[in-house]
Structure 1
Amino acid sequence: MNILFVICSLSFRHGGPTKACLETAECLHNKGYRVEICATEDLQDIDSSLLSIFQNKGICIHVFPITLRNFFLSRYYYFSFDLVRFLSKNISRFDIVYIYSLYRFPPTISSYYARRKNIPYIIHPHGSLDPYLYKKNRHIKNIYEILFEFRNLNKAAAIHFTAIEEKNLVSPLNLKAKSFVIPYGIQLNYYIPNPNLAEKYFHELKNKKILLFFSRINFKKGLDLLIPAFAKIRKEISNLFLVLAGPDNEGYGEKVRGWIKEYRIEDQVIFTGMLLEEKKRAILSLANLFVLPSYTESFGIAVIEAMAMELAVVISNKVNIWREVEEAGAGLVVSCNVDEIAKACIKLLKNPQLAKEMGKRGRKLVENRYSLEATTQALEEEFKKIIESHKSNR
């Protein structure tokens, strides 16, 4: 089986999709499949050293330059003539094409060439169809959908959702393509708490209580709720620090700093920027509690990572795996409300034994449902079914 992944960018600043794409590709490659990835340049730097790790393992990664890079629309939509040329000449080599996201040039052009060359393709919308995001920029999206996107979706061999909740939220669109639900997975042996790493990278936070937000600094992540909630929590819990660990992609951090100043908690909030590899494990090892009060989250891979590190979690009911977390007793689920977020965090910070028990249940949940090996095997089986069905229909 020859598999092509198409993704707008492989910058780790985009969080879940980059991680999922690379690690799933590696897992499929280890099973003996030929895997290639097409991506374009990014406004942010791509970490070439991390990409080279995957390339050295035998995964072919093509990163195409953006055409007219200085033109805003070209950059924003990841427009690339080189990608067009590659797809037109090479897409027929593949048995299946897996496409990340919507409303950008790479997914649009790869869907077009897959149909033109009669190659089955799967679209993973990555939350783009969630009602909260679907409503944004609706006038532009309406045009894009009429011209391209509804055809791309309806003609797909399948649509991949990563949570039942995500699939249910999209159902009012009445898309014609079949769909399946397979969650993201992580490499479990990587996520082991390590106090030595915490000491190495964050010595200044030793013996302090840490409330950890580990995600992009982005408008949809509920930081406008978390900052006032933390101001309330700080009044009840002494020696508590809020660590905001993640990249600031769109300059949203300036708004966040404004709220921090407004609530006079500058001395208790720490921005770390994007953390990868050992530094990521270090901060997860150090934290007392993980919080993610997002307005929308198609999956929430950071939640899985936190649970794998035996951290209790406080998440909003807009994180699409909230039902699984609640049923497992791995954390507390709240609405997007300042008081609810504060009360939940205070409850677990004041009861470390309860938080510890939830953390252990979280690890068990990840082991049972979110291992990379299990999720990749499920995806592999879907690929095979789609390819066989396509051959028989053809």
Structure 2
Amino acid sequence: MTYRIDRLGHQGDGIAVGPVFAPMTLPGEVVSGILNGQRLTDIRIMDPSARRVAPPCRHFKACGGCQLQHADDAFVAEWKEDVVRTALAAHGLEAPFRPIATSPARARRRATLSARRTKKSAMAGLHGRASDVIVEIPDCQLLHPDLMRAIPVAEALAVATASRKGALDVAACLSDGGLDVNVTGGRPLDGPLRIVLAGLAEAHDLARLSWEGEVIATRRPPVQRFGNVRIVPPPGAFLQATAEGEAALLADVMDAMSGAARIVDLFAGCGTFTLPLAARAQVHAVEGEAAMTDVLDAGWRKASGLKQVVAEPRDLFRRPLRPEELKSFDAAVIDPPRAGAEAQIAQLAGAAIPRIAYVSCNPVTFARDAAVLVAGGFTLNGLRVVDQFRWSSHVELVADFTRA
């Protein structure tokens, strides 16, 4: 039986009438395969799309790290923008789109690898598509070349510390000092394990090695730079996926905050936006994890030439800043997790604050929050899709709002 693909779903799979989900297909294609429930397997492309290209990575069909390498770059850009348009339209909204900012290949500076001990050695890589099977990725076209060094590190960690029954999650990030590695899913720490891990950090020239968030060895500070400020984030702290993506988000945030003298940065993390903004404005940074506000504050205190930064640890889901707390600010930046910021947005909509820059990693929750702001008197002036997760179905954006 053949199927005609009508569109792509939010996970990047082609969708035919039924619905029937067909991975690695494109709209307009006629395909055949074996239907298992609603999912098509053993897919054969009978009539390919003109937008289909040869995947640049030889691991694409097996690895689950990318979903869209079979489509040309222009198609992927159009599709990601359409995902945002559709989310906005569900709330009766529309907005001008600025040109998409797509990170280049081999630009990812952080990734979480899975590593498992085998009978003879170990294997490390990413999970297969819709599977918990680990796929080795020696020729990955996604990760920065320097980050590829994390693969043998993950293998060595599995050999030395893991059982054959379970897998380790090895989160690796590039820093000025080298690889910053945090391992989760391993056995409880004890004295002998600490000695083994310290030896591995030395053997693989790691900047820092942490186990379940506890620092085991720091050979060099794993410094990250936000503007001209150097900070050392806590193990496993959130950072933007690529330097190019961070620069694109920051440029639009800085533009939206132009002329503001007092800014509140909500879900500030370690200071991605706070510290560059402090070069020209006072910033009140609010973040739920005290470990992040601590390093943000330390970075600001050691820097020179910045205006005042106040870092406040606070759970914005349970205790959002209220309108009376927001009245002293003339602009806000908000960068919530995938769930969005429903409680905080409700307070912003009722506050007198005139400008907001919203950074989002989920178009659906962004559109929900944008609708609340617009109902509260804001105008959505425009947005830009920032494609840090190249070839994936993940969509990020940055938007600006003003109140008349």
TM-score interval, smaller chain: under 0.3
Q: TM-score, with normalisation over the residues of structure 1?
A: 0.27
Q: TM-score, with normalisation over the residues of structure 2?
A: 0.26
> Which of the pair has more CA radius of gyration?
2
Greater share of helix? 1
Greater share of strand? 2
